[in-house]
Amino acid sequence: MPGGLDLPKGEWVFRRIPYSSGWVKPDGSVDLAAFLPNKGDTTGLSLSRVASAAQAAATGKRGKRFYAVAMLVDDLQAQNLKVIADEPGHAEIEGWTFDARNDPEVRRLAAWMTTVCNRAEGPFDGEYDPPA
């Protein structure tokens, strides 16, 4: 879906966080690093469009464990972030790529996300088998 479609207000999206990263604190709060784009974020910050944190975590690689945090699309859009659906079950924050991770505005908004996301749920097992 080139360019993607804007997500509707009222929708929840999830950010999947690797258990091994150490980015989820014992109280369930989340470190800034969880919201900074990584090497896999080539067109935008990856988000899951699923019904639960467990389903978001399940989109991770089999044999790994993941947390997931929910964020309301309205909150992201209120910060002028363009949240788009780029394929079924997936969305991204447009322009938030690995190359942009050190941009002061991306870092400021990533820190803000730690204050508006729900507490991390999990860890859950990943269920995705990547193609060989």
Cα separation, 60 vs 116, whole angstroms: 23
- Any residues with CB less than 8 A from the CB of 15 and at least 6 apart, and which? 34, 35, 45, 46, 47, 48, 56, 68, 69, 71, 113, 117
Between residues 68 and 4, the one the model is more confident about:
68
Q: What is the pTM (predicted TM-score) of this model?
A: 0.92
The per-residue b/e assignment along 14-29, b for 16 or more CB within 10 angstroms, e otherwise, is bbbbbbeeebbeeeee
Q: Is the confidence at residue 109, as pLDDT, over 70? A: yes
Give pLDDT tens digits for 48-88: 999 999 999 999 999 999 999 999 999 999 999 999 998 88
Length of the chain: 132
Distance set, CA 47 to CA 26, 68, 88, 93 (Å): 23, 10, 11, 8
- CA 81 from chain centre, in angstroms, equals 13
- Could you tell me what percent of the chain has a pLDDT over 90? 89
Under DSSP, the state recorded for 33 is G
Q: What per-residue confidence (pLDDT) applies to 49?
A: 96
